[in-house]
Structure 1
Amino acid sequence: MIDNKLKTIFATALGIDEAAISDELTYGSIPEWDSTAHMMLVAEIESQYDIMLDTDDIIDMSSPAKAQTIIAKYQD
């Protein structure tokens, strides 16, 4: 389950309604989640969680669920 903070980040970066954010949403599955939006998403996650994602994690972040797993790795 995706936390509300991350849902808001995804909705803002992708310009979609929070109700559309789910574990099933994946990179490229909607036109709004393109490479430009992906980088906006990364920037917003880094800002909101005060972390710096490495390149492999940025590439690997293919869904909100995966993003939550990646963020958790930085919060340990």
Structure 2
Amino acid sequence: MTNQQKLRQAFVEALALPADTQVEELKYNAIPEWDSIAHMALIAHLDDTFDIMLDTEDIIDISSFDRAVEILQKYGVDFE
């Protein structure tokens, strides 16, 4: 499984979304499923999946799938 697929799966599982959801288009608080509690579940998934510990600033800054990719790359996660 690629890191892109792992990230997609983390979004689907943490936000309790159907597997076919276009997570690449989601924005924080734009859908009812992505509230503050689901956001913390997403962060926990990311920490576990990629074996990292996100800084508080980065936790707050994850506001979309694309932004999550950018932030994870800072922690050495490769999306190439």
Shift of 1:35: 0.2
1:36: how far off? 0.2
Output the aligned Cα RMSD: 1.5
Counterpart in the other structure of 1:20: 21
**Alpha-carbon distance, 1:21 to partner:** 3.1
% identity of equivalent residues = 47
- Which residue of 2 is the match for residue 37 of structure 1? 38
| In structure 1, distance between residues paired with 2:22 and 2:68 | 12
Amino acid at match of 2:37: T
- Which residues of structure 2 form unaligned runs of 5+? none
Per the TM alignment, residue 51 of structure 1 is displaced from its structure 2 partner at its CA by 0.4
Q: How many angstroms apart in 1 are the aligned matches of 2:52 and 2:22?
A: 22
**Do 1:10 and 1:21's aligned partners in 2 also have CA atoms closer than 8 Å?**
no
The answer to whether structure 1 residue 4 and structure 2 residue 15 are counterparts is: no
Counting matched residue pairs gives 75
TM (norm. structure 2) is 0.86
Give the Cα–Cα distance (whole angstroms) in 2 for the partners of residues 58 and 74 of structure 1: 13
CA deviation string 1:24-48 (max 9, x = no partner) = 2100111000000000000010011
- Tell me how far 1:11 sits from its aligned partner: 0.1
Query: 3-state DSSP class of the match of 1:20?
Result: coil
Task: State the alpha-carbon separation in 1 of the partners of residues 30 and 71 from structure 2.
Answer: 20
Normalised to the residue count of structure 1, the TM-score between the two structures is 0.90
Is the 8 Å Cα contact of residues 7 and 18 (structure 1) preserved in structure 2? no
